[in-house]
Chains A and B, each alone.
Chain A
Amino acid sequence: YSNATLLGMNYMTYFILFSFMIPISLFVTVEMCKACQIVLMAFDQEMMHWVEEKGEWVPCRPKTSDLNDQLALVKYIFTDKTGTLTENVMKYVEGVIASTARLPNGDRKWTTHLGNEIDSINKSCDVPASQSFDGTFHNNRFGDSSDTARFLAAVSLCHAVVSFENKITGEYTFEGSSPDEVALVKCARDNDFTLARRTSKSITIRVGLTDHTYEIVEELEFTATRKMMSIVLKDAFGDLLIISKGADSSIIARLASGNLTQTDRETIESHLVKSASNGLRTLCLAWRHIPNFAYNTWRDEYLSYIQGTEKSDEKYDALCDKLENNLSIIGITAYEDKLQDGVPDTIRFFLKSNLVVWMLTGDKLETGVEIGKNCGLVDNCRIFEINLVKEQTREYIVDQSHEERKKCGIQFVKDKMKEAITEASQEAIVLAVDGLALDHAMTVEELTPIFVELSALIKSAILCRLTPAQKGQIVDLFKKKSNETTLAIGDGSNDATMITASDVGIGIIGLEGSQAELASDYAISRFRHLKRLVAVHGRYSLYRNSMCIGFSFYKNMFLVVPQIPFAFSCAFSGMSLYEAWLLTIKNTAFTFLPPFFMGCFDKDIPEEVLEDPVAGPQLLAELGKKGLYRVGIKMMLPWYCAAFVHGVLVYIVSFTYLENQDTDVKDGKISGIFTTGTAVFSCVVVTVCTKALIHIKELSVIQFAGVLISILLVPVTLFFLSAFEMFFGYTHMYQVALYLMSDPKFYLLLFITSVGILCICDFSALYLQRHAYPSLRDLWQELFPYQEDYSKRPLLGCSPNVSNKVAPKKECEMPEMNKANDT
């Protein structure tokens, strides 16, 4: 080689030494930590839920480990209502039955037939004993039966529920994908309209003792846009009839003109509002005869659609519309969905943490608002409604043309939103928007910016009557608008879009299939577990990852920094201060465990404090701050500084004294570069491990063991390497340990770096920071003396004695959410 090449090569070698500054091992370590974190999530007993049907505990099911720390940085939470905030266990409450006969003024008679007492023992709803359906239903066609009988028959016929008969007890049990349908069928059963058998061809209902079999001609499945489903049946007389069941808006829109008078509409509306404001969900039932020829014509179209290649929801809906019209009303069902345990606490917790919680539901606005009130979303705030559907009913613009209606609607939404903006800037309001208004707000060009502006001001909102696609659009909008993390939580297939669209998707393992769970990043079984997932596991993961990353950078930089001044001593020849083998196994052996255990087990603040309704939100809100735990320059800077200062000090301490006279042992012999380099290396490793001790917030046996093992590995490895004359081609280390360990100066050096430097630099800095400029976290840590029950805990994981975990008995007053002062 020419001299220039040699110089160049030397120079590059010099830089290769610095490659250790970037911790390659970090990626592996962090991934392992994340894997460990999700294991801890999955095993967390606090996040397990007993599922009676399955007879087992359902734990949290994390699907990814990449988003652990994102959980704690969530700013927007979008939640579904049914099945997420509520149990999704439906209980039938009441039915409102429309009479066929009309009153003299042409209006129908409306009877609230089934009592609203729901807790009878054997039946999910009461039967007025005087009624004998048998007589009225038995000999008549569907249309000619009594109102009540028709209502119950419709309930027991129009669904996708399968019946199972217990041969011994003669009881029937039902299974279906939709819990509300099952609830309805159960109610019908309790009223003597038992769904006895259902095949793909026919449905048999048993009324009293008689079986009535209907042939299933067609099933028009539920679609989200239609918000209804229908079934086409052929009765014993060979007549075709269609029974539809769905959201009130959909059904009412498809009734035959004149089927309802204005008074009827108002009656229905009042019933619906009343039910909804009690937090009940409602479904309307309607039916009509289909003339055979009309059906046959339709069927041809339908078949060509089925056999055709072009399939789309729009086409299907359009086809369904052709049958589902001119219906006549049967009645309205109302059933309740209980709120899950702990939902209000959880939502209040998030709101106090300055998180934005939006409820996105497919239900009616009134239902949504009522649930919102119950679940803590509204709490003392004024609800600002933008209810376009209601507006349109009230204004009697039903008869206007579609275009005009839309135009009016847009104007209405625009005005309302502007009003909301002025109000929201003065006081905290809860926005309640219905699907139609939201559709305008999202799609009409001039409204979108106003909506975005408004949404920035709103902390909590209730969006109702949303289609799955709209849910996804909302989440997308927020994601685009802000750089903050969005979280969507839902249980059904209709939530899958929003779960996929959000940064962090949470699925509720519920009754509505597994689609949401499959689309999610983390699946939990109860909504209240979200608090623990975010505030405890999310926070810990964020803290742990940041510690792991910071510490890994620190330890690698620390090792490299002494090489920089050393380069001046070795003419920039690229000579490594440390022996090659030590350098190779450094990250895997000596300094692997402390950051790994930090990344797996360390806790900055005990769980009890994090879950505390007072402390928790403040600590959660603090996480968003830059420089605390979020990986960034501000967070890394202390680590870099520490590495630099320590590196330089270790160099000065060891080299200034080495320059005086080499590390010589007592018999005057002189050591070489690898002995001294190993001494420096040991100093670095021991100092790194000791520093870990300062930074670990919860020093369990495992953490201690990790540090201790790492420190002890130094002499062990040194002796091991020293025992071989040649270890894979290197002889430098032969008997180095022996000479090093017999030199008292080695221990003096170790002691001064690991104790002296750390104490003077790090510990004093820590003390100053904690006592002069304490962060909220520091204060909480000091304010909560949480060692009381700790002495009872097991030292190691072997003993199953965790039941003594008790929440600290603190008399925290329930915080008063005064949102008016928040903004």
Chain B
Amino acid sequence: MSSVNSELSEPPKGTREEDADQSARPSENACVQQQLRAWQPTYGSIGSILCFVLVAAGFIPTGAMMLVAHREDLVSVDIRYDDLEEIRECPWVRTDSSFERCYETCTEAKRLVNAECSQQKKCGQIANLGPNCPRNVSDLQYHEYANLEGCDPHCNTSVTFTVTETLNAPVYFYYKLDKFYQNHRNFVESRSQNQLAGWSTYDGEFCNPLLKVGDKTEDDYCHRSTNGEVTECEYLPFGYCPLDSGCNMQAPVVNQLGDFRYAPCGLSAWAMFNDSLILKNSDGDIICDGDAFAVDGSVKTGRQSGNCRKTGIAWSADKYKNFDTPHRDPKFLTAEGLRAEFENCESVNWEIPRGCTLDPSSHSKIVMPHLMNGWYAFEPYHKIPTQTDEDFIVWSKIAILPKFQKLYRIIDVDIPPGVYTMDIKHRFDVHHFGGKKSFVLATTAWTGGSAHFLAILYITLGSLSFVFAVVFMVHHALTVHKRAHILEHWIEEAQKRSWKYVTRADLRGTGLISSVDEAGSRRFSIVGN
């Protein structure tokens, strides 16, 4: 028995050395044996405090640098203009009933509509239908519509404002919208990337609800009974009519027209911001006429743009890759394409009507006046944007928040302090969705635009980190000689759970016990006795 006992008392650790002679054990791999060299951070006092100090030392200067840069480089003027009286009262905004005022700038249209109104006594009804004023223009001949080209109904207003600090060139000229949910999922999805990029593959299904001509307006033009069925549609001169409605047009025409797709299609294009902003100095000299640019960025003939440009406002990636002239698909309706088709309407094969179509009853040509002018169907004067237009490209870059600003023009001269006037051609209504709009003149610093909040945040976090460092340092200083208390706490804990195996020897050589020794305050014997 004694021999058995002596064998038992041998520690099992010893077996490793014994076994070592027999043969090398397999898989002598430090990784598999979990014996890699490694750093075990214990997050002791000094190291942690140092970390906090380092963070403070890094953050506070960074924040300060940003603040300084902003103070020196960043100047911005932000003027809200949607609450001006002229804009609030603007007649053709859909809340307004004084229909004609809208067309003061377009005498021809006014004449036509007046004539229409006097004939049919339907002015009030038409007016109530919304901003897209003259709908019921069935009597118009196509040449009369031709005269509507260049018609641009809008409300004029101007804001006078003061610039107190010089804005150094380049000055960035932004428009800013609030409560406009560009980031609404439906809005984001409602576009065709392929179409925008000018590719032949067409994923127009994404464009709902503004894919095809007439998509949006079916409900507006047809009367429904109380149970929701279409009872009667107004006479639509452009040959649109849903198949199952009680229209007096015949089906084939409808089908053909319904096949046309807008280019660019989708809500994003349809809802494009289209105000014009013209910046003038106190002398009335034009600094920047935002309206003077054609879609390709060049200055329109006979216009003065001032010292600003439209080119370079969009991302180059977008301009050169993501947005291009639409693929020449006969079914794509672009503003320019329609115009061209309209010019040749007489010669167009009637089976593939573009700007015009046939009235099957009369076999005479019926025009689609809105499309023909590059307008959205049923929405006179609402132009279909051009895909390569940088304004459109900027607009299509979806803002992440409902409050956003977008680059409008870049002004290449300094704007010294003084009084300035902004002439505004108001077309884009924000009141019906309760939004705001404003224009912004701003310069940039090395951080880009304003990062004021970020700078404050850096300084705050840095300071907080410093405070923590100080607090922890004080805590450490207070406890370094009393860390025995922690030990005691722990020993008490151990006693509570009846662990009685903690010996002083275990603690020797640890930082804890040595500090206790130095302090000379306590001596530990075998705990638990």
Contacts and interface: CB of A to CB of B under 8 A. Distances in A.
Interface residues of A, number: 136
B454 A749 contact: yes
Contacts of B404: 662, 670
Contact of A702 (B31, B42, B314): B31
Nearest to A665: B448
Contact of A570 (B66, B183, B313, B453): B183
B145 interface: no
Contacts of A764: 52, 468, 472
From A45, A601, A606, A674, residue with most partner B Cβ within 10 Å? A45
A82 to B, nearest CB: 15
Contacts of B458: 748, 752, 756
Contacts of A795: 36-37
Contact of B59 (A48, A613, A756): A756
Given A752-B461, A810-B506, A569 B170 contact: no
A532 B403 CA distance: 61
B520 interface: no
A759 B170 CA distance: 39
A403 interface: no
B53 to A, nearest CB: 11
Nearest to A345: B12
Contacts, number: 352
Interface in A584-633: 601, 603, 606-607, 613-615, 617-618, 621
Contact of A40 (B34, B55, B193, B511): B34
Contact of B32 (A40, A570, A615, A617): A40
Interface residues of B, number: 121
A47 B501 CA distance: 26
Given A573-B184, A665-B448, A760 B511 contact: no
Interface in A300-348: 338-339, 341-346
B451 interface: yes
Nearest to B32: A43
Given A44-B33, A57-B25, A344-B8, A672 B399 contact: yes
B449 A342 contact: no
A345 B10 CA distance: 9
Contacts of B400: 569, 577, 658, 662, 672-673, 676-677
Contacts of A782: 42, 44, 510-512
Interface stretch (B84-92, B113-121, B489-497): B489-497
Interface in A660-714: 660-674, 676-677, 697-703
B55 A703 contact: no
B170 A668 contact: yes
A622 to B, nearest CB: 9
B292 interface: no
Interface stretch (B16-24, B335-343, B378-386): B16-24
A412 interface: no
A665 B313 CA distance: 12
A102 interface: no
B505 A279 contact: no
Nearest to A612: B506
A760 B32 CA distance: 36
B25 A770 contact: no
Given A338-B4, A673-B188, A796-B30, A664 B457 contact: no
A794 B500 contact: no
Given A669-B313, A815-B500, A700 B453 contact: no
A603 B41 CA distance: 12
Interface in A775-792: 776, 779, 781-787, 790-792
Contact of A797 (B31, B42, B174, B507): B31
B27 A43 contact: yes
A614 B503 contact: yes
A815 B45 CA distance: 32
A621 B497 contact: yes
Nearest to B196: A731
Interface in A735-768: 735, 738-739, 743-745, 748-749, 751-752, 755-757, 759-760, 763-764, 766-767
Contacts of A655: 401
A659 B451 contact: no
Contacts of B37: 700-701, 790-795
Interface string B359-399: 00000000000000000000000000000000000100111
A701 B36 contact: yes
Given A670-B406, A812-B503, A799 B15 contact: no
Interface stretch (B99-107, B279-287, B315-323, B350-358): B315-323
A581 interface: no
Interface stretch (A136-144, A254-262, A355-363, A800-808): A800-808
From B13, B27, B493, B500, residue with most partner A Cβ within 10 Å? B27
A726 B35 CA distance: 47
Interface string B439-463: 0001010111111111001100110
Nearest to A663: B448
Nearest to B403: A659
Nearest to B41: A699
B509 interface: yes
Nearest to B10: A341
Interface string B419-454: 000000000000000000000001010111111111
A571 B184 contact: yes
Contacts of B29: 43, 797-798, 800, 802
A818 B499 CA distance: 10
Contacts of A770: 43
B38 A703 contact: yes
B23 A57 contact: yes
Given A44-B33, A339-B8, A770-B43, A657 B186 contact: no
Contacts of A395: none
Contacts of A661: 405, 442, 449-451
A673 B183 contact: yes
A606 B42 CA distance: 12
A738 to B, nearest CB: 7
A783 B32 contact: no
A670 B183 CA distance: 15
A39 B29 CA distance: 13
Contacts of B493: 776
Contact of B43 (A701, A739, A767, A818): A767
A288 interface: no
Nearest to B321: A725
A13 interface: yes
B19 A745 contact: no
Nearest to B471: A764
A745 B447 contact: yes
A763 B449 contact: no
B446 A744 contact: yes
10 contacts: A10-B186, A13-B185, A374-B4, A660-B449, A697-B41, A725-B321, A739-B315, A791-B37, A793-B37, A810-B506
Given A745-B451, A802-B35, 14 more contacts: A57-B26, A571-B184, A607-B34, A657-B451, A659-B403, A663-B448, A668-B410, A670-B407, A744-B446, A771-B486, A786-B40, A796-B31, A797-B30, A805-B33
Q: Lowest 3 A-B CB distances belong to which pairs? A: A797-B31, A342-B12, A735-B317
Interface of B: 1, 4-5, 7-13, 15-16, 19, 22-23, 25-45, 48, 51-52, 55, 58-59, 62, 66, 170, 172, 174, 181-188, 193-194, 197, 203, 312-317, 321-322, 394, 397-407, 410, 442, 444, 446-454, 457-458, 461-462, 464-465, 468, 472, 475-476, 479, 486, 490, 493-494, 497-503, 505-507, 509-512, 526
Interface of A: 6, 10, 13, 39-40, 43-46, 48, 50, 57, 59, 278-279, 338-339, 341-346, 352, 374-375, 528, 569-571, 573-575, 577, 601, 603, 606-607, 613-615, 617-618, 621, 653, 655-674, 676-677, 697-703, 725-726, 729-731, 734-735, 738-739, 743-745, 748-749, 751-752, 755-757, 759-760, 763-764, 766-767, 770-771, 774, 776, 779, 781-787, 790-803, 805, 807, 810-813, 815-816, 818, 821-822
